[in-house]
Amino acid sequence: MLIKRRPDIASSEITARGLYLSRRAFIAGGAALTLGPSRATAAAETPPAEPLAAKPSPTFRVDDPPTKFESATTYNNFYEFGVDKADPSIYGARLRPRPWTVRVEGLCARPKTYDLDELLRLVPLEERVYRLRCVEGWSMVIPWIGFPLASLIKRVEPTGKARFVEFTTLYDPAQFPGQKKNLISFSSLEWPYAEGLRLDEALHPLTLLTFGMYGHVLPHQNGAPVRVVVPWKYGFKSAKSIVRIRFVTERPRTTWEKAAPNEYGFYSNVNPTVDHPRWSQATERRIGDFRRRPTLMFNGYADQVASLYAGMDLRKDF
């Protein structure tokens, strides 16, 4: 977001290669068992397309039509893979999403390292259709698969001193070329990627610990094997490929806040009345659409989350 060429690139400009890789990934997933010797190659180069069963949530479901799978998997921000929108779909194959553990620690009575498979069995998975609004001025509608982060948090029993939750993405330059200091598209961000929420935000029923989308496990470029999704905040609050969840007393410093504190606040609630210093946030372009549409307060989730911020000055705490 710091080194953007410009904030809103048309989906028609997505590279042919990105689209090609994504389609091939989809096909390769279904055909993998019959591919014989070439299977290893296919597996190494393409994200998994393994189905993930989930019950559609009747409550958490916006009516807007979902974004095309091809767009949601080729137009990505995941700076660990590079700064271009197509980079995550091209370099994402390097990520090894298994084995994977998430360490839940800090100010809680029952800290624990969860294996991914244990997490997947913890609570029944739901499919929820959420809006995703990027701070850059575009948006998508994505059918995510996961369970409320609150279900995990309650199990580890945060203590009375826990006021914030910090999320940390995997640090491994061998899997994430964007974390290498010598890369041409080096983003100047501090690694590992860190994000944070207030404890009550993390416990809110909308906050989803996410393992899949569009009926399948998360493609690598979308944050495999596990990420957070916080639909009323700008997309960068939803950290991908997380390995640690930590309870702390002090507000954690986040990657984007460190990079540009006047541009990316800790709260980063979607707010059409508070502009980014370099562009308006009043409207957005839904990927796949031509015209811009008005951005909704809290990304359309005001009824559910506005009370979290009662009495706060949202210009100051942006």
Ligand X SMILES: Nc1nc2c(c(=O)[nH]1)N[C@H]1C(S)=C(S)[C@@H](COP(=O)(O)O)O[C@H]1N2
Q: Between 147 and 256, name the residue whose CB sits nearer to Mo ion.
A: 256
* Contact by Cβ (8 Å): 268, 298: no
Using CB under 5 A as the criterion, what x/- string covers residues 207-226 for binding Mo ion? --------------------
Using CB under 6 A as the binding rule, whether residue 193 contacts ligand X is answered as yes
Using CB under 6 A as the criterion, what x/- string covers residues 153-172 for binding ligand X? ----------------x---
Out of 144, 236, 256, 301, point to the residue binding Mo ion (CB under 5 A).
236
Name the amino acid, one letter, at 291: R
Residues 6 or more apart in contact with residue 179 via CB below 8 angstroms: 80, 171, 172, 173, 191, 192
Using CB under 6 A as the binding rule, whether residue 235 contacts ligand X is answered as yes
Tell me which DSSP letter residue 313 carries: -
Q: Which of Mo ion, ligand X, none interacts with 217 (beta carbon under 5 to 8 A by kind)?
A: none
DSSP-derived 3-state class of residue 82: coil
Q: Which of Mo ion, ligand X, none interacts with 100 (beta carbon under 5 to 8 A by kind)?
A: none
Q: How many Cα atoms are found within 13 Å in the side-chain-facing hemisphere of 263?
A: 15
Using CB under 5 A as the binding rule, whether residue 114 contacts Mo ion is answered as no
Q: Is the dihedral of CA 125, 142, 131, 199 positive or negative?
A: positive
Using CB under 6 A as the binding rule, whether residue 132 contacts ligand X is answered as yes
Q: Between 11 and 77, name the residue whose CB sits nearer to Mo ion.
A: 77
Smallest distance, Mo ion to C-beta of residue 11, A: 15
Q: Which of Mo ion, ligand X, none interacts with 22 (beta carbon under 5 to 8 A by kind)?
A: none
Stretch of residues binding ligand X (CB under 6 A), selected from 114-122, 123-131, 150-158, 237-245: 237-245
Out of 11, 46, 74, 76, point to the residue binding ligand X (CB under 6 A).
76
Out of 11, 222, 271, 295, point to the residue binding ligand X (CB under 6 A).
222
* Contact by Cβ (8 Å): 148, 207: yes
Name the amino acid, one letter, at 308: L
Q: In angstroms, how far apart are the furthest CA atoms of the chain?
A: 62
Residues 31-60, interacting with ligand X (CB under 6 A): none
The three-state (H, E, C) secondary structure of 1-30, written as one string:
CCCCCCCCCCHHHCCHHHHHHHHHHHHHHH
Smallest distance, Mo ion to C-beta of residue 133, A: 8
DSSP-derived 3-state class of residue 307: helix
Using CB under 6 A as the binding rule, whether residue 236 contacts ligand X is answered as yes
Sequence-ordered strand ranges (E) for the chain = 55-61, 101-106, 112-115, 126-133, 138-148, 164-169, 194-198, 208-213, 216-217, 227-229, 242-248, 283-286, 293-294
Q: Between 32 and 215, name the residue whose CB sits nearer to ligand X.
A: 215
Stretch of residues binding Mo ion (CB under 5 A), selected from 34-42, 87-95, 126-134, 267-275: 126-134
Using CB under 6 A as the binding rule, whether residue 79 contacts ligand X is answered as yes
Residues that bind ligand X (CB under 6 A): 76-80, 132, 134, 169, 193, 222-223, 235-236, 238-241
Residues that bind Mo ion (CB under 5 A): 77, 134, 235-236
